[in-house]
Structures are given as structure tokens and as C-alpha cells.
Amino acid sequence: MSVKFETIGLVGTPGDQRVADTLRTLAKHLNAQGIEALFLGNASTDVPGCREVDADELADRADLVMSVGGDGTMLFATQLVATRDTPLLGINRGRLGFLADISPNDELTGNIDAILSGEYISETRGMLVARLHGKKSAGTYALNDVVVQRAGETRLIDVETHVNGVYLNTHGSDGLIVATPTGSTAYALSCGGPILEPSLNAFVVVPICPHTLSDRPIVIDGDSKIEVRLKDRKGVSGQISCDGRAIAGLQPGDVLHIEAAPFGATLLHPNNYDYFRILRSKLAWGHSSRRTR
């Protein structure tokens, strides 16, 4: 069932000329259809036709959020609205664009009009919640991944991992990634992790540059509860980040709990959306690396 979008939030960085041009096009097009356009931040001179609002107002009032930029912008937009179940639409002005799958070409306004008229695919992507318990407590959500990395040291850290209370392994490595299926094509992929189809109820646990070559990524059930600890070694500490944002340090004695969030991110796609086609395109599958003479 389609939803009527009367107020649309735009998220992007107008300092990037390509993003600014797309934001202006969107604002003008939305205004012409009587749709209120809100913009996050101080950009009245850059994006005419948009009313500037703060993060809370955009999240509270927008029926739909359009993210203009790369996947990083999309992840930021997700943090704004995921708890409110506000749908997100990604317009790619970045590099890979696994999440932002509308290109700002001559068909931009046509694709937007189709979505505004209810012609779209709605998809819910699972998210993670990370909670740190220790001398300092912290908690947040992630669409892609939760990452534990060494904090400044050049030596390895020992990351002890339990799944549903059962010991999994102590990873002597540069760190550890716990990724959703959405995040399986991000940092986890560069560390040798598998690609998970987005609808799977699963996580992937991936050590970062493990010292033991047999320490391989493992896929676990999405209802699992993961505990991560740092083994006590002199002068060693860790850093926790969620979707690329540092949230807290990890010290020996702290416990990091990771599990499925009680909600997901609602993504809208054009009707011709094809996840496997995006994989083939973004990862250049089937393209020959040989040069023709």
C-alpha cells in the first residue's frame, strides 16, 4: 500500500557541487507539486525552496527522507529516522552506492514522480543495537556494522567473542566486525567476509587481519546475542564504531553486547530494483580486466 508524501526531508552536503545541484533540482520539483521540502542544516542560500530544520524536526515531520550523496550520507539519514519508521530513498552522488540506488541522470524527476505516485518497492533492512557496559556506558544503532578496533597501538588485540553465552573464539587481530546483511558489502567484504542477501535473518562476524589464518568469518543466526570483550594486556585498548562513527572506547573488563535492533530501516526502491544487478554493476562482475590492443 502506497503512502502519500506531503512533507519530504532532504539530507545531503551542499558543499559538494554535484550534491547541491541535485538538491536544488529536487527542491524545485517538490515545490512545484505542492510538497513541503525540509533541509537539515544551514543551507538556505544553497538550496532555495527548502526550509531549514534541525534533526529532531526533520525526523518528526518528514513522511519520507531523500538522501543525496553516497552510502555514508544514507547511513547518517538512517540514524535520524530509523526509530520512527520513516522511509528512506537514496539518490547516489557517491562512489559505490549500494544503498543509494537512484542515479541523478535525466530520469531523476521521472523516478521521483513514480515513487511519489506509489510506484515503488518497500524493503525493511535489519539493524543492530550495540550496548557497552563498563566504567563508561554507551549505546547506539547500526545499519551496516559494529566494529571493534585497536586504539592507536600497532600490536594486535585479543578480542574474545561469545554467541548466546557460548564461547566462540579469541581473535588475535586488528579488531572484529559484526555486520548485518546490508553491511556485508561494506567493511566486512574488504576483510574477506561473504555477501549476505539482504532479506536473510543473519549476521556475519569477521576478524580484521587475524594473526591466525584459519580464523575465518562466520555467519550466525540473526536472533543471536553477541558479547565482545577485550583481553587484558598491558597498554592495550580498543575503539568501538557503529556505521563508521566512533561511539566509545573499549577497555579490558568492559562488555559490548550486540544483537538485532527492535526495528529496521525502511528503504524505498524504484520498481525496477534488482539487488543482484546492483552487485554485478558495483563489483564489476563479468568484466574482463584484460586490455584490448
Active-site positions read: 71
List of E strands, the chain: 7-11, 36-40, 51-53, 64-69, 88-92, 121-133, 138-142, 145-150, 157-163, 166-173, 175-179, 202-208, 218-221, 226-230, 238-242, 245-250, 255-269
In DSSP notation, 25-85 reads: HHHHHHHHTT-EEEEESS-TTTSTT-EEE-HHHHHHH-SEEEEEESHHHHHHHHHHHGGGT
Nearest to 32 by CA among 116, 99, 156, 105: 116
Q: How far apart are the C-alpha atoms of 169 and 206, rounded to whole Å?
A: 12
Residue type for position 140 = T
Q: Which residue has cell 586490455?
A: 291
Q: How far apart are the C-alpha atoms of 151 and 200, rounded to whole Å?
A: 32
CB atoms near residue 46 (< 10 Å): 17
- Tally of CA atoms within 13 A in the half-sphere of 283 that contains its CB: 14
